[in-house]
A and B are shown apart, each in its own frame.
Chain A
Amino acid sequence: AQTVTQSQPEMSVQEAETVTLSCTYDTSESDYYLFWYKQPPSRQMILVIRQEAYKQQNATENRFSVNFQKAAKSFSLKISDSQLGDAAMYFCAFNYGAGSYQLTFGKGTKLSVIP
């Protein structure tokens, strides 16, 4: 079974600084997909970034980038130039493809941004 571990229940960052959220996963599959979702207090789950395991290049979306280490089964999220609007719960999620569309979520990291 696939598992996703987020070892940091809470993190904080000063506004305009950089923060990295950790995520590790366990799978025997070789082809899969990884996601980071943001959930602000509004409850809306927002896709932040997506990574295909077969791609060696790390995904980036504006201020958000990942450090994908396939051998180490690590998928960390870096937020640069943090903004107050980045404060939210962040969930790492995994899908192993192969006809399965289910997402396996980590327990989440609550990010606070300090003005």
Chain B
Amino acid sequence: SAVISQKPSRDICQRGTSLTIQCQVDSQVTMMFWYRQQPGQSLTLIATANQGSEATYESGFVIDKFPISRPNLTFSTLTVSNMSPEDSSIYLCSGGGLYGYTFGSGTRLTVV
């Protein structure tokens, strides 16, 4: 199965700034996904990243706040824009298909 490298693993950011999280997959995957996870909670899907087209966002998430890039089948970025303390969370990327979805190791974001 694919291996996903996600970085940064953690960051502390000032409110009002932006952070870009990167995920690199060691093989081509059709779909990539971005999730948010509060500590001890389940995963909430932010958006599906499609290559060559705009990402598809879930209810409650908008492109202006969480712009996503998917330039090819092995790479994607998620930007958390104009951050507030409410954006403090763990962000994970995922890729793969029905034979199994691989996840990055997550980015723990703290906004102060």
- Asked if B42 and A102 make an inter-chain contact with CB atoms under 8 angstroms apart, the answer reads no
B100 within 8 A of A: yes
**Which stretch in A12-20, A22-30, A39-47, A73-81 binds the other chain?**
A39-47
B101 within 8 A of A: yes
- Asked if B105 and A91 make an inter-chain contact with CB atoms under 8 angstroms apart, the answer reads no
The total of interchain contacts (Cβ-Cβ below 8 angstroms) comes to: 50
How close is B40's CB to chain A, nearest CB, in angstroms? 8
- Asked if B1 and A102 make an inter-chain contact with CB atoms under 8 angstroms apart, the answer reads no
- Asked if A91 and B101 make an inter-chain contact with CB atoms under 8 angstroms apart, the answer reads no
A36 to B42, CA, bound (A): 13
The verdict on A102 contacting B100 (CB below 8 Å), with A44-B106, A45-B92, A107-B41 known, is no
The verdict on A42 contacting B42 (CB below 8 Å), with A47-B1, A101-B31 known, is no
- Asked if A43 and B106 make an inter-chain contact with CB atoms under 8 angstroms apart, the answer reads yes
The verdict on A108 contacting B98 (CB below 8 Å), with A44-B103, A102-B48 known, is no
- On chain B, the residues within 8 Å of A33 by CB distance are 98
8 A Cβ contacts from A42-62 to B: 42-45, 47, 50
Number of interface residues of A (CB under 8 A): 21
Residue ranges of B at the interface with A (Cβ–Cβ < 8 Å): 1, 30-31, 33, 40-43, 45, 48, 90, 92, 94, 96-103, 105-106, 108
Since A33-B98, A43-B106, A45-B92 are in contact, a sample of 18 more A-B pairs with Cβ atoms closer than 8 Å, ordered by chain A residue number, is A43-B90, A43-B92, A43-B105, A43-B108, A44-B105, A45-B103, A47-B1, A50-B99, A50-B100, A89-B40, A97-B98, A101-B30, A101-B33, A101-B96, A101-B101, A102-B33, A103-B94, A106-B42
